[in-house]
Chain A
Amino acid sequence: MLWTLLVLLTPAVACVRLFFLPEKTDADKGRIRRTSIAATTVSLFAALMMWMGYDTGGPRWQFLMEMEWVPSVGIGFNFGADGISVAMVVLTAFVIWAGCFISSSITDRVKEHYILLLALVTGVFGVFLSLDLFFFYFFYEMAVIPMYLLIGVWGSRAAQYSKEYATMKLTLYLTTGAVVALVGILALYYEGGQTFDIRKLALADIDGGTQKAWFPVIFLGFAAIVPMWPLHSWSPIGHAAAPSAVSMLHAGVLMKLGAYAILRVGFDILPEGAAHWMGWVAVLCCMNIVYGGLVAMAQRDMKFIIGFSSSSHMGYVLLGLATLGVVGVSGAVFLMFAHGIMTALAFALIGWFYDQTHTRVVDDLGGMIKQLPFVGTCFVIMAMASAGLPGFANFASELLVILGAWDSEFALAGTSWAIPGWIPVTAAIWGIVISATYLLRAVRDAFFGPPNPRWAELKDASTRRTRLPFVTLIVVLTFTGCFPSTIVDTIKSGVSKLRPVAEAPAEEARR
């Protein structure tokens, strides 16, 4: 309980504290940075304690913190975590912690930047820990809105789109999704006996027809933020326009909110609806994987490449969810974790040279490895991880997803067709080949090849302080990649208790 409270409240308290700090001199700015880093360090510590303290054989919900909030409406201040939440909280804590270090490059309106960043992350932690649908939505929307200002004020132009356009598009897409989901959530409130408590709603046994009717509403609402094809178009532009730390949070964490919400609300409360509709998701996610990858191949702006690759990788997550089996869904959650760390690393690295070159177009770069040996090496490591090299968490998680999908059969609701597992698996394997292609090309064009004389003066990350965030993220990625059981066991203990997973026929019986 202490850890839940610490994770959740430290950024919120820091937010309020920063509001009353002055920002006049450089010393003030340093103080603001230190305060934020201290707050996120506390959160990170608490998140790690949750990870280590989580009992995989214990009850489903741990670290519980419960309080009545508005009893007459059925709202409770209920927070707690299962294995899935723990993994997501650890991911968020790492990304925001690294993001606070990376944000040191921001010198204009430092205070506002950190306040919004911490408000955003409070929202994200809140979503991952909340056991009450009201607070779930409350924090979800709270995580979306600061993004508008963060991108609009500190962002940069994204190819032909202005940052104002990018940020408005992002905000409106995500809010549309959110309010649509809100209508669904409120319908569940009445169907499930007038409570917002997720645990009670999951036991409410909502009528099957109702489940099938409301699942698409909830799913589509949250799928916009995943982002599922064809609702993805806000995402690459948003990534590209955002400042580094915000891109990190956006791709690393915010996109995971959608998948997490589908698990928590869609799966747990509407198991029959999920079982009914998820076949279609397996079809749509193939579009994500292949189409996202192909578009990424055509991009020349580094952030657009990673942006489309993110939506391609989130296709794997959706595929894992669509299997509704322990292996596939655990793989999906693990991939959310791995992809979050990997993509945060990618945007941090791109931010490092973009702050100096002011261009991200790979044709303008070239041969930067000479000036940036450290950053370049990290970038190669990131590309390898993203392309699914064994030894990194991405490989292990994608493997789980593919294994899970191979065993499944996806029935398409409304038709008599069923897609055998090997079809999406084929798309997924090709997706890996595609992502290897564009990532290696990006590495070749930006860091190797003929050096561009314009970049002779680039500075590498040479101090311990600047290297720390990169090294930490890589260590997390390799540690969980080499010892996947450290986190997969945690995730699995949560996933196996999700209703559609727990109620699905056992793997052996299906063969």
Chain B
Amino acid sequence: MEGLLHGVEGFMYPNEVELQWSVLIVLYPFLTGLVAGAFILASLEKVFRVEAVKPTYRLALLTALAFLLVAPLPLQLHLGHPERSLEMFVTPHTSSAMAMFGFIYVWYLMAVLVLEIWLEYRKDIVLAARASTGWKQRFYRILALGSDNLSAGALRADDTTSWVVSLVGIPSAFLLHGYVGFIFGSVKANPWWSTPLMPIVFLFSAMVSGIAIVLLLYMLATWLRGRLIDMACVDTIGRYLLYAFVIDFSLEMLDLIHRIYEADESFKTLDFMVHTRLYTLQVIIQIVLGTLVPIALLALALVVKLSDRARVGVYVVAALLTLMGIFAMRWNVVIGGQLFSKSFLGYTTYKMSFATREGLLPAIGLLLLPFAVLWGLMKLLPPWPEPRPETETIASA
């Protein structure tokens, strides 16, 4: 640990040398961002009736749920006393964004996501309950809340309620991830974080990452199922990804230009940091490879006539680069904000350990866990029930 002192350049307040928030705190906004983004994509179909993306509707919902369930885990691992975390619900400090977030999380999980998924799948659950026996039947019966009504009236009620939940869900999703941005953006002590743009930047980068991951998962799942990819669907998703990206990039550039122009007391130290310690991660990985290249690729697919195979390739590469870029953005905000001294006179380094509670190994594990959860969810609530002759859709070429 004494080695940390050797990583200090210039002057840091003595208590600042060791970083407070680790890679786990980078992971957390990344995971909740995927939730918000996936849900927004789902609501495109439900609320805005963009029919083309219908094949991804259920997948997007399940993806959101899988990531939302895993999201509190990095926080729990990070806390000095995870056993005390329920205090946030018992005595929440209303002036603290972190405390209020606990309630937003529960609201979004139960009143939006779980409810939405339940309404969407209720018919399938009831049918499964009718078709199975023994404990499986009991399980599906409980999941259906004992309901057995699949009349046209009941299904219509489901649809209407689902529409309302989705409608409420959109601002809820904005709140879910905008709040995470506010947790950083409201810290006046840290000029790298403190900006009113922070919640909005976080939100749009969340949408970008969420759309990208659903796009990727849809193509992967379709390929694994041996089906044809619905090109109209992925083309539409690619378009929306591009739109979200352009807005996201504009917002980040606005923040940057504003900083450079105003050049307040923090500017020199931040500028130096971006040009040295943060250069590879910020400029190369986040901006060039993680934003500009995907934008160029997506624009290419939109403007130039490419074959289906080529477009799928473009989307895969663009989505992967996007996810990498958005992860880098979270890293640059969280870790970058702790690399410089609040005295503006020095820098420290982040020594990420490997197999400790807040090390790289648990971070990788937590990054992979949602996919395992998603796999389980997909087995329980299949997004694409096996087509029966009268309802089989023929994927467009």
Q: Do chains A and B stick together as partners?
A: no
A residues whose Cβ falls under 8 Å from a Cβ of B: none
